[in-house]
Every structure is written in C-alpha cells, then in structure tokens.
C-alpha cells in the first residue's frame, strides 16, 4: 500500500511532540487524515494527555512524569505507523449559516470587489456557492478556518488588524474564509456577519463548529439579520 501521507515527529517543549504531515493529495484530505489520526491516538494510548490539531500538523501532549520524551517519541511513531487511514465516504454534518453582506457588516466587501474587478453581488455569489469544510480551529477560541475559498477571492490579511470585530464576523484571507464566533481583534478582510449564535457557554461543547464539519453560507438581508436576532429566532 502506497502511503499518501508522510509524518515527521519533533520535540515540542518538555511535554509535547509536534507531528508535521505532508500529503501527496488534496489539502482537504490532509485535514481529514489529521482529524482521524488525532482521534485514533487518543483511543490508543493512556500516555497521551491531549492532541491539538492544526492545518498540516498536530501537537501531542504527554505526561512527562509517566513517560520520558524519548519513549513518548518511540510510542507515538509506532502508533502512527500502525494507523490505517481510510478516506471517509460519509457525509459530514452540514450547517447552513446565515450571513448578512450589507455594507454595515462588510467593511471590506466593496474594496475586494474593486480589487478583483467583480461586482459586490459577484463576490457574494462566489462566497456562498461553495460548501466549505472546517479545516481547523484557532487562533482565538472557536475561530473556524474554512476551505477552500474560491481562487477569485484570494486576498491578504490586513497589515494592521482591527481592534474589534463583532461576534459572527465573516472574513477571508489567503485561500481560507473564517468565522469570529466571539468577535474581538482580527486582521482578515471582513465581508459579512452572521446573526447565528456560534457559542453557548452552557453547552458541553460551547462552540457550534468543529473540525470536519461542513458549512454553507446563506445570504440574508439586513431586516432578516435583525429578525434573526430577536428571541426564538435561532
């Protein structure tokens, strides 16, 4: 069997190992491989305290009082070699997220349209026509990196981040689109905002979006945005 993924393990502090992954296939399949391998690791060995995944790597935390870094490296390598990844044929959970692309929620939308020689409606159509996958979660709690963004919409981050973005802000940067569930500072190009609550502090898993889920954006008007914000609309 030809291996589609190559891993490289390095020390990552006193109590963690960093696994970098390279793929000969699609980036989406790379994220699926990392997600599947992370779950496999947590089931396979009591020494692993946590697995934190990123787009093309993941960190494996271990208890240094239970196992030495050298032995942890050997065990991790053995488990990874034993892992048999099969590309999922199941449909991941699909979430439709309403987004208002009106000017008051989209400070960068017109600029992007001008930069790409598109109309605002063209940008919205291209952004909503894709079914995205949640590639990873970071850089702030719950922030969802979604891919792949249409090649027609590729834009760099702002050189100076905004100090505050409202919860639900939708941005694009590089080949990703992202959601700020809690708001806060951010440097992505903001093209809309969702009224959907993506964070529930009373839930066992407070964030609605998880790695591996699929997301479809649905354009709504300003009036629909306000209606959605009223009680019993979510």
Per DSSP bridges, beta strands 94-100 and 214-220 are parallel
Q: Is the pLDDT of residue 1 over 60?
A: no
Give the whole-angstrom CA distance, residue 87 versus residue 90: 9
pTM equals 0.74
Average pLDDT, integer, range 127-153 = 90
Q: Which domains does the chain have, with CATH numbers?
A: 5-82 (3.30.1360.40), 94-229 (2.40.100.10)
Residue 32 host element (H or E):
helix 27-44
Give the whole-angstrom CA distance, residue 167 versus residue 170: 9
Average pLDDT, integer, range 180-204 = 92
Average pLDDT, integer, range 4-21 = 90
Closest CA to 99 of 215, 188, 230, 232: 215
Average pLDDT, integer, range 11-25 = 86
Bridge partners of residue 57, in order along the sequence: 20
Q: Is the pLDDT of residue 108 over 80?
A: yes
Burial of 85: CB neighbours in 10 Å, binned 0-12, 13-18, 19+: middle
Mean pLDDT of the chain: 87
Quick check: 137 and 143 in contact, CB under 8 A?
Answer: yes
* Max CA pair span of the chain: 59
Average pLDDT, integer, range 32-51 = 80
Q: How many CB atoms lie within 10 A of CB 69?
A: 16
Q: Is the pLDDT of residue 52 over 90?
A: no
Q: Is the pLDDT of residue 47 over 80?
A: no
């Amino acid at each position: 069997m030809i291996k589609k993924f190559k891993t490289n393990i390095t020390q990552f502090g006193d109590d963690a190992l960093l696994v970098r992954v390279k793929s000969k296939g699609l980036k989406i399949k790379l994220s699926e491989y990392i997600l599947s391998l992370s779950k496999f690791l947590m089931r396979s060995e009591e020494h692993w305290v946590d697995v934190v995944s990123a787009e093309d790597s993941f960190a494996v935390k271990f208890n240094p009082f239970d196992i030495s870094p050298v032995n942890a490296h050997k065990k991790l390598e053995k488990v990874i070699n034993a892992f048999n990844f099969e590309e999922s044929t199941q449909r991941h959970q699909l979430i439709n997220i309403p987004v208002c692309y009106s000017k008051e929620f989209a400070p960068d939308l017109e600029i992007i349209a001008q930069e790409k020689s598109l109309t605002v409606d063209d940008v919205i159509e291209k952004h909503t026509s894709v079914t995205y996958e949640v590639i990873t979660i970071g850089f702030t709690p719950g922030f969802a990196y979604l891919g792949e963004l249409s090649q027609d919409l590729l834009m760099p981050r702002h050189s100076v981040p905004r100090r505050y973005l409202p919860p639900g802000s939708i941005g694009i940067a590089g080949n990703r689109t992202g959601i700020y569930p809690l708001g806060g500072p951010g440097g992505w190009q903001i093209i809309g905002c969702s009224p959907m609550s993506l964070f529930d502090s009373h839930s066992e898993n407070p964030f609605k979006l998880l790695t591996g889920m699929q997301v479809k954006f649905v354009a709504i008007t300003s009036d629909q945005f306000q209606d959605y914000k009223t009680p019993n609309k979510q």
